[in-house]
Amino acid sequence: MIDFISKIVKLNKLNVIGIIRKDDGETFNVLSIKKKGDKIDIVSMSFYTSYEEVLKNIDLKLPILLVIDGKGILNKEVNFNNESDVLWHKNIDHSSIYYTSFKTQHSNFMSFCRKNIADDYNAKFSQSKLTIIDVYIGSFLGALLQGAIHQNPLVSGELSLQFENNGLIGFSKDLNLVKKNYQLEKESISSEIIPLYGVLLHFYIQQKEISKTKSNSSITEEIIYKKLFNFLGIFLLIGFFVSLLASYLLTGYYSSKNVALNLETVYAAQSYDMIVDLEKKKDSKIKILNETGFLTSKFLAFYSYEIIKEVPSDISLTNLNISPLYENIKQNKKVDLEAKTIKLSGETDNEFSLNSWINLLKNIKWAKNFEILSIKRDKKGITHFELKMILKDV
């Protein structure tokens, strides 16, 4: 049931709080996000030096992903080809620790701490009425961003992560590691925020190479059910008011509809006659357009362009007439056009070029028929020609 509900009611707004434990206290990095579809938008990135500052500046209603790092957090690479590493890994008492691990082909990179450290923070945040939905340990999840940032090594928290062929192969830890800023799409993210963003990616995507101490799923379920209850409550309230408004509007609507129907009955006969008359006019105009050839799928400019672009330089085209008149226009007399007809005339002093061009026109795919109306040669050796083309039904 909860799996089905979680597909409808989703946790699209979160705070990710990164706690850096130090000898002289704690610092807090807070990443606030809003998820839209598959995109994660960063609302804010903040840094605080005390827990009280965090409580004053964050939205206490939003659920929290907690990331613990610094003093008391151990980081280890378990090499699967090293027998002592494998034996150590098998003998871990998972009930006494909190851990987060990143598994590669040859190693398992693991961050862990005593269970009471994470439990203390859970209790502390719960006393402040904050909702912790999951706890992550260490900074190895920053490796999930390497494919987007393309930096080697990549500084994630207090760790410097080394990669080969986009795969994590090693790390080093330096408390005095120089902080860096990385460009992630349009956002500039500091190296201290990198592990927090990696935690977000795992929370929403659940990559199979990541494993961790299981969280208290009942808390997540409680948040989802609470959101569902609030959603349903608002939905029912809105539905009630919409029903009242709809009832009022429908009463007025059907009253006006009744008046309209009465008017339609009165004017129905007149409307029908007008429609019949308009249909006749429409059919008449379509017939005229069809006779002129203007209903073809090609514009007249298309035929002009297709003919003109093939005219050789030694041929002078003096006339190009598409759908020419049968006779001159006379007053009060119907204008008749030769539909789907193109007439060409011109002159040249190169008969070979003219013959080649005529053969080219004969083979144009949109020409149905081609006719030579006249070819005459004057005393100066200039050949005058007149051609006619019939267009296909296109």
> Which residues have C-beta within 8 Å of that of residue 170, sequence separation ≥ 6?
77, 161, 162
pLDDT beyond 90 at 281 = no
Whether 242 and 250 have beta carbons less than 8 Å apart is answered as no
Percent over 90 (pLDDT), the chain: 27
pLDDT beyond 70 at 299 = no
Mean pLDDT across the stretch 194-207?
90
Q: Between 3.30.1360.100, 3.80.10.10, 3.90.1300.10, 3.40.50.2300, what CATH number should domain 300-391 receive?
A: 3.30.1360.100
pLDDT digits (tens, 9 = 90+) for 260-280: 787 777 777 777 778 878 888
Written as one letter, the residue type at 117 is I
Q: How many Å apart are CA 188 and CA 294, to the nearest integer?
A: 60
- Choose the weakest-confidence range: 29-38, 45-54, 216-225, 355-364: 216-225
The structure tokens listed for 71 are 């003093």
Reported as a pLDDT band with limits 50, 70 and 90, residue 8 is very low
- Choose the weakest-confidence range: 32-46, 202-216, 265-279: 265-279
Q: Domain-by-domain residue ranges, the chain?
A: 2-215, 216-291, 300-391
Whether 142 and 156 have beta carbons less than 8 Å apart is answered as yes
DSSP E strands, the chain: 13-22, 25-36, 39-48, 64-70, 74-79, 97-103, 107-114, 132-137, 154-156, 159-164, 167-173, 181-184, 187-190, 210-212, 315-322, 341-348, 367-377, 383-391
Q: How many Å apart are CA 68 and CA 136, to the nearest integer?
A: 6
Whether 163 and 169 have beta carbons less than 8 Å apart is answered as yes
pLDDT digits (tens, 9 = 90+) for 218-254: 455 555 545 555 666 677 678 778 888 888 888 888 8
